[in-house]
Structure 1
Amino acid sequence: MSSLPLSDNILSVAFEHAPCAIVVTRHRQVEACNQAFCKLFGYPENELVGQLMLKMYPSYEDYELIGKLRYQELLKEHHCIDERFMRCKNGEMFWCKTQGKTLTPAAPFDLAIWTFTRINIRPDQEGNLSIREREISGYIANGYTCKEIAKRLDISHRTVEAHRAKIMKKLGCRNTAELVSKIIQVQA
């Protein structure tokens, strides 16, 4: 097994081949991203560099809301961690943990670095849930209320409540905290 020679380029090699999805943004626009980031979102690098991160958000509304929240957090703490839905090139929505750090504390979005980790519904429990129940589970894990989920899915909030009750019964949960902990886990 050959080893890479130490050189000025070693940081570039480490960034490109890091096992976690990393993106560097300027004003919320992709400046650079690594192979793991491209794989996670299903885009080749040339379709990401120079594009707004909006491309990977479920909606413009989410992009704006999360941007406002993270900007304030980065301004105060210079780093942030959250969980949210993101969207792949093929349109698939997935739940992920995001960590960010600004490199320009006075203007947090001028230059920032972010990592993304996909979070999945546990496979052993996923099989017990219908497609609609899995979809609703994702929203529950994201902290949405039944009324908010109903609005997003354009269905009755009572229908969402019925699905939530079935999910809780199938997973053997007594409260929301227990439900969320059974729905999600960080993918290894």
Structure 2
Amino acid sequence: MIAALQFALADIPVPMVYATHRIIRDCNAEFAGLFGYRREELVDTSFSRLYPAIADFVRTGDMWRHHLPGGAVYFDERIMAGADGKRFWCRVNGRSRDLSDPFAAALYCFEPMSRPLTQTTLKLTGRQRQILTLVAQGKTSTLIAEEVGLSRRTVEAHRLRLARSVGVANSAELVAWFLSQPSA
């Protein structure tokens, strides 16, 4: 018989956080350091302080609420903000164990991304950045619509406006543009 391994968050070498109802209940030093805080400054505070704007916090919560059923792993890519106000891209993986309330108790892993944050991407609205990151993940308009709670036609309109705003002809060129942006 194999004994179950147990680790505390402090033992895990990647940015990890445990939250209840989007309140940080515990995190490791790697998570706190990613955002420029000490662990003690984050425990028992809202995740909202780590977002560039409250609208981003609300939009992300709506998306996760619909796609994080108990036991499932869900991920997205988003812009977060550090203690100094500097913004950066993160990939976030999360798992909830409560089938009826995905935010009741969840564990999240934050992975900083090397994707540059440019003046052009900063000028996009939160919804446009959300659509753009989902397009970059290779998701279709139908899948994106289901994920973010919009109609397929609305998603297609967002994609078209994004492509026009950066001067590309289609989604493939939009993804290539997005992934090749130089640092700001």
Q: Secondary structure at the match of 1:107?
A: coil
Q: Which residue of 1 aligns with 2:67?
A: 73
Q: Which residue of 1 aligns with 2:119?
A: 132
Instruction: Tell me, yes or no, if structure 1 residue 18 matches structure 2 residue 12.
Output: yes
Q: Which residue of 1 aligns with 2:173?
A: 175
Partners of 1:67 and 1:55 lie apart in 2 by: 14
Q: Between Structure 1 and Structure 2, whose CA radius of gyration is higher?
A: 1
Q: Secondary structure at the match of 1:120?
A: coil
Structure 2 counterpart of 1:63, from 57, 67, 71:
57
Q: Deviations over 1:133-155 (max 9, x none)?
A: 57459x876545xxxxxxxxxxx
Q: Which residue of 2 aligns with 1:171?
A: none
Structure 1 counterpart of 2:89, from 89, 92, 95:
95
Q: Secondary structure at the match of 1:30?
A: strand
CA contact (8 A) 1:78 1:108 kept: no
Letter in 2 for 1:58: P
Letter in 2 for 1:176: L
Indicate the percent of aligned positions where both proteins have the same amino acid: 22
Q: CA RMSD in A?
A: 3.3
CA contact (8 A) 1:23 1:115 kept: yes
Q: Which residue of 2 aligns with 1:85?
A: 79
Q: Secondary structure at the match of 1:177?
A: helix
- Note the C-alpha offset of 1:132: 3.0
Q: Deviations over 1:118-172 (max 9, x none)?
A: 11236xxx9xxxx6357459x876545xxxxxxxxxxxx9xx93xx34xx7xxxx
Partners of 1:77 and 1:16 lie apart in 2 by: 22
Structure 1 counterpart of 2:21, from 27, 52, 69:
27
Structure 2 gaps of 5+ residues are: 133-160
Q: Deviations over 1:74-116 (max 9, x none)?
A: 1377321101111101001111101000022221111000011
Partners of 2:112 and 2:175 lie apart in 1 by: 20
Partners of 1:50 and 1:133 lie apart in 2 by: 34
- Note the C-alpha offset of 1:67: 0.4
CA contact (8 A) 2:18 2:25 kept: yes
Letter in 2 for 1:22: M
CA contact (8 A) 1:18 1:34 kept: yes
TM-score if structure 2 supplies the norm length? 0.66
CA contact (8 A) 1:17 1:36 kept: no
Aligned residues between the structures: 146
Partners of 2:7 and 2:112 lie apart in 1 by: 24
Q: Secondary structure at the match of 2:33?
A: helix
Partners of 2:129 and 2:48 lie apart in 1 by: 22
TM-score if structure 1 supplies the norm length? 0.65
